[in-house]
Amino acid sequence: MPPGHCPACPERVLPQGTESRFAPSSPVWSPPGESIPVTKTCLPRDNGQQPWQASCADDYRRHVLFCGTQIIQAKGDGREPAKAVVLRTGFNTAKGDLVRSILYPKPMNFRLYRDAIRFLMFLIGIAGIGMVYTVCVFALNGEAAGEVVKKALDVITIAVPPALPAALTSGIIYTQRRLKRKGIFCISPQRINVCGQLNLICFDKTGTLTEDGLDLWGLVLAKGQSFQNACSFSPGSPVPWGPACGAMVSCHSLVLLDGQVQGDPLDLKMFEATHWEIEESKDDGELACAMIVKPGPKASHAPIRGMAILHQFPFSSALQRMSVIVQEFSGDHHIFMKGAPERVTHFCHPNSVPPSFTSQLQFYTSRGFRVIALAHKTLPAGMPAASLTREDVESNLTFLGFLILENRLKRETRPVLEELTAARIRNVMVTGDNIQTAITVAREAGMILPGSRVILVEASAQVGRPLASITWKLVEESKIDRCSGPEDRHSALGGGPPSGLGSSPFHFCMSGSSYEVITQSFGHLLPKLLLNGTVFARMSPAQKASLVQEFQKMDYFVGMCGDGANDCGALKVAHAGISLSEQEASVASPFTSRTPSVECVPELIRQGRAALVTSFCMFKYMALYSIIQYLGILLLYWQLNTFGNYQFLFQDLAITTLIGMTMSLNGAYPKLVPFRPAARLTSPPLLLSVALNILFSLALQVCGFVLVQKQPWYSADDLLSACAPRNTSLMGSPAPTGLSQGVHGMRNSTGGEEKEEEESYQSYENTTVWLLSTINCLLVAVVFSKGKPFRQPVHKNCKGAKGGRRGRKARPGTFSLMPVSC
The Cα 284–Cα 337 span in angstroms is 28
- For residue 751, the one-letter residue type is G
Please give the full DSSP string across 113-161, using - where no structure is assigned: HHHHHHHHHHHHHHHHHHHHHHHHHHHHTT--HHHHHHHHHHHHHHHS-
CB 547 within 8 A of CB 564: no
Interior CA angle at 805 toward 800 and 811, to 5°?
A: 135
Interior CA angle at 169 toward 167 and 170, to 5°?
A: 65
The Cα 388–Cα 631 span in angstroms is 84
The Cα 202–Cα 568 span in angstroms is 13
Q: Find the distance separating the first CA and the last CA of the chain, reported in whole Å.
A: 90
- Counting Cα atoms < 13 Å in the Cβ hemisphere of 611 gives 28
The Cα 624–Cα 626 span in angstroms is 5
Residue 40, classed as helix, strand or coil, is strand
Our separate counts of H helices and E strands in the chain read 27, 29
CB 413 within 8 A of CB 209: yes
Residue 106: count other Cβ atoms within 10 Å of its Cβ. Answer: 9
Bridge partners of 378, per DSSP, are: 334
The Cα 581–Cα 412 span in angstroms is 17
Start-end of H helices in 321-466: 341-344, 357-365, 390-393, 413-422, 435-445
CB 190 within 8 A of CB 107: no
The Cα 324–Cα 336 span in angstroms is 6
Residue 709, classed as helix, strand or coil, is helix
**Could you tell me the CA-to-CA distances from 264 to 54, 255, 544 in Å, in that order?**
28, 10, 22
The Cα 390–Cα 412 span in angstroms is 43
From the candidates 59, 115, 204, 563, give the one annotated as an active-site residue.
204
Does 284 participate in catalysis according to the annotation?
no
**Could you tell me the CA-to-CA distances from 142 to 633, 730, 763 in Å, in that order?**
19, 36, 21
Please give the full DSSP string across 339-369, using - where no structure is assigned: E-HHHHGGGB-GGGS-TTHHHHHHHHHTTTE
Buried b (16+ CB within 10 A) or exposed e, 354-388: beebeebbbebbeebbbbbbbbbbebeeeeebeeb
Q: What is the DSSP letter of 264?
A: -
Start-end of H helices in 18-144: 52-56, 94-103, 111-140
- Name the residues annotated as catalytic: 204
